[in-house]
Amino acid sequence: MTATDQQAVPPKSIVREYFETIVICVMILLFARGFVFIQSKIPTISMLETLKVGDYILVDRWLYGAPGDTPHWWLGQREIRRGDVIVFRFPEDTDIDFVKRVIGLPGDTVEMRAGVVYVNGEPLEEPYVLPENFEPNAYWGPKVVPADHYFMLGDNRDDSRDSRAWGFVPRSLVKGRAFFIWFSYKEDPDDYKRVGIERLYSIAKKIRYFPTRTRWHRIFSRVH
């Protein structure tokens, strides 16, 4: 191509450059949304104090790999570990997402006596369960966690419907690990039940009280 030919090529317009940039960004976001991260909102008090009603969390879909595949460390993946806070499809209704903490891994024997969790006969240290959320009269098990399943509990043991009620979670229902709170707003505990006019009123209320009811100190904090 000669110098004359090079000069004959018309430069991209600013509109075209912006359009191409936006398309690329949208494609990246859609890829991340489908394969890397998803976002979810906490609707109940079952994970207090780790997660509060109105916390908006990011979920890492990449960390564990796909169900049935072996995670690859060189891709930044690993197996599910005890203590991970994970999001999964509810076994009794897979259209609903739940978030709980992994307590029992495949092959573990899990038991609860007077509120204390025992895994393979040893008491489990649980600093994430606050004294006011402890359930001293709780008994469960012992039961062995089946292969490719997990035993899940909420951190708020006194107000959590978890594996004690509906059983073990199969690996195929696990969506990813909750790792980051990107926004937090102090909502009413029953806000997620509102529909129709009540839902519109709730949205208007959030806009009005956004500055005062936003938990600014929880924004951009990690989930442990």
- Pick from 147, 68, 142, 70: which is nearest to 106 by CA? 147
Of the candidates 47, 61, 37, the one whose C-alpha atom is nearest the C-alpha of residue 159 is 47
Is the separation of the CB atoms in 60 and 176 below 8 Å?
yes
Asked about 41 being catalytic, the answer comes back as no
Of the residues 40, 41, 46, 163, only one is catalytic, namely: 46
Active site residue 160: no
DSSP lists the bridge partners of residue 181 as: 57, 221
Tokens of 59: 């979920």
**Could you tell me whether strands 116-119 and 109-113 are parallel, antiparallel, or unpaired per DSSP bridges?**
antiparallel
Among 40, 41, 52, 100, the active-site one is 100
In a 10 Å sphere around its CB, with 0-12 CB exposed, 13-18 middle and 19+ buried, how is residue 213 labelled? middle
- Compute CA 8 distance to the chain's CA centroid, rounded to the nearest angstrom: 54
Cβ neighbours of residue 142 closer than 8 Å, sequence gap 6 or more: 109, 110, 111, 118
Whether 144 and 167 have beta carbons less than 8 Å apart is answered as: no
Residues 5 and 69: their CA atoms lie apart, in Å, by 53
Distance, in Å, from the CA atom of 167 to the CA atom of 152, rounded to the nearest integer, reads 8
Which residues are tagged catalytic? 46, 100
